Chains A and B, each alone.
Chain A
């Protein structure tokens, strides 16, 4: 075991998989010689060379489009979109091409591309370096969406993504890229996709989040515990396909739930979680499920911490469910 941050964990997974599987190719803006603006691809260029670690021209549609072509031919491309805010020029390639190739070719042309992209706010990045567009992609048939919250998960989940045969959007919480540190297996350990992690058990209220919001709900759970409220904390890890069984088991126990994400509220991913829980566990609910989210505004610069969910807002929502 070694202590790593999320960047180092991602980098470790890429090193392991590129050494193990010659079909893995990394491409994107500044990912080669420079090692990526966040250093996630550091060292890969020197070890694997310019054909497999490609500094591309500045065009997201071209990055994803050429990655798709490589995957059709049999490679396993791992394109990096430098910030999730810049992914939209590639939206057509992701939605209409990448996510649909297996289906429209009747399984003849699978397209195992793993797109890595840093997302989320809290870094004084303003609107164009802070967005959380996960729900736009969670709505796309044929795509999987994975978001780690810890270094160990970042490495284990990324390795799993690289070893299955369908496209994935792998969103990395850049706010905690370096702040989140933890013990990570230096070897080849995978974490299964589609499985949530019950980080903390509790019987009064279920808190559900992913990515950078995980630390927010953990802090809220700590504050709640000081008031004698024991929260169950769940890290979703995979948004598509999400682990409904773990959520339902928890809500059946607690009867209450708070869903947290930093993306805007309306049609955010929390809406899907709330609906799914209500469909399956309505009779167990003691109170309406609460959502603590970003607002339906563009992501702000100066007031970003007022925009982002924090532990106090989450705690307020927990109290709402208890006092309803």
Chain B
């Protein structure tokens, strides 16, 4: 099954990125992590943490930095976003039909997911939260691996041990997600520090969290350790403004989430999370800075959870969905990117139609394969607890097998 855009597998823009010809000129930044040539980056630390970095407005007006963006990269970003939307729509439908147990979609947040993933390199590491599977897919995690995990079948590398939306792909340095909110970001800092200890340089780790995660003790520990260790890490918060039913103002009295990062001594940028170009450029800056030994960066991607928290949630019970509707229509990241691409002649309506059709077929085929695959073997219950099963596990396995016989 063919993958989508991928830093590993070589999509349209990969050759250009590998050759170092993209992005750099577009944002006026070299590999040393010089800030992009945009007035936002001329601000003070506090101005950056309170402001909002945007390259493409809701009206489609683009900053000149976008003019230098390679066509192929822009198309890759767009394709990556559409791919998530198509997969998510399919999975939500399967969940409603009772064919999968659970799903958490990234509807309306595709720009934050894809724009940040596109700024990573293959040797970088990615530590996801719930809504970053699309980042893994963009980096080359096989769609088969993702869908197999959702079905928990015998082709799932983690063998059906977790709920859907917990994929894992060692080949692309995609760490398996934990449902425990923000527990993963200290891991991102540790991974990044290990890169420093290893002394190889030139790589970094990006760790994601949501706005709810910024209330946890792990958030505090992670940002504090990142600052003290000066780890090559990018900590990215998708502020979708809702933690299940809890709105941002009930989560923190801080004026912005980016200001929290500043409190730990991290350069903290606040970015329009629905502007894929801005997300890409900001993350690319932070990633290059980390790789060059410039230390950690905190990113707040301001976005909106247009959908429910998960397939188990009903937001109409606790929020004003007319606000959601405004985000769904006027601020949709895919519409904004499509208008930009079409306006520049980088994408025709017929190409767009073909893209959606191709991606719908891709996920339809994957579901066809994985829905029919078998259940993990009974013995897999006892494997991977330790490298080798202890005598206790061997005894319990024999007991289960005897009862099953």
Give the docked Cα–Cα distance between A56 and B228 (Å).
8
Q: Which residues of B contact A89 (CB under 8 A)?
A: 217
Give the docked Cα–Cα distance between A109 and B193 (Å).
17
In the complex, what residue of chain B is closest to A71 when comparing beta carbons?
Answer: B190
Q: Which residues of B contact A74 (CB under 8 A)?
A: 194, 198
Q: What is the CB-to-nearest-CB distance from A139 to chain B, in angstroms, rounded to a whole number?
A: 12
* Interface pair A73/B195, CB less than 8 Å apart: yes
* Interface pair B168/A73, CB less than 8 Å apart: no
Q: Scan residues 145-202 of chain B and give those whose CB is less than 8 A from a CB of chain A.
A: 156-159, 161-162, 166, 168-170, 175-176, 178, 180, 183-198
* Interface pair A68/B187, CB less than 8 Å apart: yes
Given contacts A72-B175, A93-B186, contact A51 B196 (CB under 8 A): yes
* Interface pair B197/A67, CB less than 8 Å apart: no
Q: Tell me which of A39-47, A57-65, A150-158, A227-235 binds B.
A: A57-65
Q: Which residues of A contact B190 (CB under 8 A)?
A: 65-73, 77
CB of A165 within 8 A of chain B? yes
Give the docked Cα–Cα distance between A105 and B167 (Å).
8
* Interface pair A105/B168, CB less than 8 Å apart: yes
Give the docked Cα–Cα distance between A268 and B159 (Å).
33
Q: Tell me which of A94-102, A116-124, A197-205, A288-296 binds B.
A: A94-102
Q: Which residues of A contact B229 (CB under 8 A)?
A: 54, 66
- Name the residue among B162, B170, B225 with the largest chain A CB count within 10 angstroms: B225
* Interface pair A62/B222, CB less than 8 Å apart: yes
Q: What is the CB-to-nearest-CB distance from A80 to chain B, in angstroms, rounded to a whole number?
A: 15
Q: Tell me which of B287-295, B332-340, B382-390 binds A.
A: B382-390
* Interface pair A68/B186, CB less than 8 Å apart: yes
- Name the residue among B184, B197, B218 with the largest chain A CB count within 10 angstroms: B197
Q: Scan residues 42-101 of chain B and give those whose CB is less than 8 A from a CB of chain A.
A: none
Q: What is the CB-to-nearest-CB distance from B272 to chain A, in angstroms, rounded to a whole number?
A: 29
Q: Which residues of B contact A96 (CB under 8 A)?
A: 178, 180, 183
* Interface pair B168/A106, CB less than 8 Å apart: yes
Q: Which residues of A contact B170 (CB under 8 A)?
A: 105, 108-109
* Interface pair A142/B386, CB less than 8 Å apart: yes
Give the docked Cα–Cα distance between A68 and B386 (Å).
16
Number of chain B interface residues as a range: 35 or more
Q: Which residues of A contact B188 (CB under 8 A)?
A: 69
Q: Which residues of A contact B192 (CB under 8 A)?
A: 69
* Interface pair B158/A69, CB less than 8 Å apart: no
Give the docked Cα–Cα distance between A77 and B220 (Å).
21
CB of B318 within 8 A of chain A? no
CB of B19 within 8 A of chain A? no
Q: Which residues of A contact B311 (CB under 8 A)?
A: none
Give the docked Cα–Cα distance between A241 and B396 (Å).
13
Given contacts A65-B218, A70-B193, A110-B387, contact A57 B228 (CB under 8 A): yes
Of the candidates A62, A68, A100, A102, the one whose C-beta lies within 8 Å of that of B224 is: A62
CB of B221 within 8 A of chain A? yes
Give the docked Cα–Cα distance between A61 and B186 (Å).
8
* Interface pair B168/A65, CB less than 8 Å apart: no
Q: What is the CB-to-nearest-CB distance from B324 to chain A, in angstroms, rounded to a whole number?
A: 32
* Interface pair B224/A104, CB less than 8 Å apart: no
CB of A52 within 8 A of chain B? yes
Q: Which residues of A contact B222 (CB under 8 A)?
A: 62, 65-66
* Interface pair A103/B385, CB less than 8 Å apart: yes
Give the docked Cα–Cα distance between A242 and B168 (Å).
32
CB of A3 within 8 A of chain B? no
* Interface pair B392/A75, CB less than 8 Å apart: no
Give the docked Cα–Cα distance between A105 and B127 (Å).
13
Q: Which residues of A contact B176 (CB under 8 A)?
A: 101, 104-105, 108-109
Q: What is the CB-to-nearest-CB distance from B379 to chain A, in angstroms, rounded to a whole number?
A: 14
Q: What is the CB-to-nearest-CB distance from B208 to chain A, in angstroms, rounded to a whole number?
A: 14
* Interface pair B161/A75, CB less than 8 Å apart: no
Q: Which residues of A contact B383 (CB under 8 A)?
A: 107
In the complex, what residue of chain A is closest to B231 when comparing beta carbons?
Answer: A66
In the complex, what residue of chain A is closest to B227 when comparing beta carbons?
Answer: A57
Q: What is the CB-to-nearest-CB distance from B172 to chain A, in angstroms, rounded to a whole number?
A: 11
Q: What is the CB-to-nearest-CB distance from A292 to chain B, in angstroms, rounded to a whole number?
A: 25
Q: Which residues of B contact A65 (CB under 8 A)?
A: 183, 185-187, 189-190, 218, 221-222, 225
* Interface pair B386/A166, CB less than 8 Å apart: yes
Contact indicator per residue, chain B 202-224, by CB within 8 Å of chain A (1) or not (0): 00010000000000011011101
Give the docked Cα–Cα distance between A301 and B10 (Å).
66
* Interface pair B391/A102, CB less than 8 Å apart: no
Give the docked Cα–Cα distance between A64 and B217 (Å).
13
CB of A266 within 8 A of chain B? no
* Interface pair A59/B224, CB less than 8 Å apart: yes
Please give the residue numbers on chain B whose beta carbons come within 8 Å of chain A beta carbons, in ascending order.
125, 127, 156-159, 161-162, 166, 168-170, 175-176, 178, 180, 183-198, 205, 217-218, 220-222, 224-225, 228-229, 383-387, 390-392
Show 23 A/B contacts (Cβ-Cβ < 8 Å), sorted by A.
Answer: A51-B196, A52-B197, A59-B220, A62-B186, A62-B218, A65-B189, A68-B186, A70-B191, A71-B190, A72-B187, A73-B194, A73-B198, A75-B197, A92-B180, A101-B176, A103-B384, A105-B158, A105-B175, A106-B157, A108-B170, A109-B175, A166-B386, A240-B390
Counting from the closest, the 8 A-B pairs by CB-CB distance are A69-B190, A65-B186, A62-B221, A66-B190, A69-B187, A73-B194, A241-B390, A108-B170
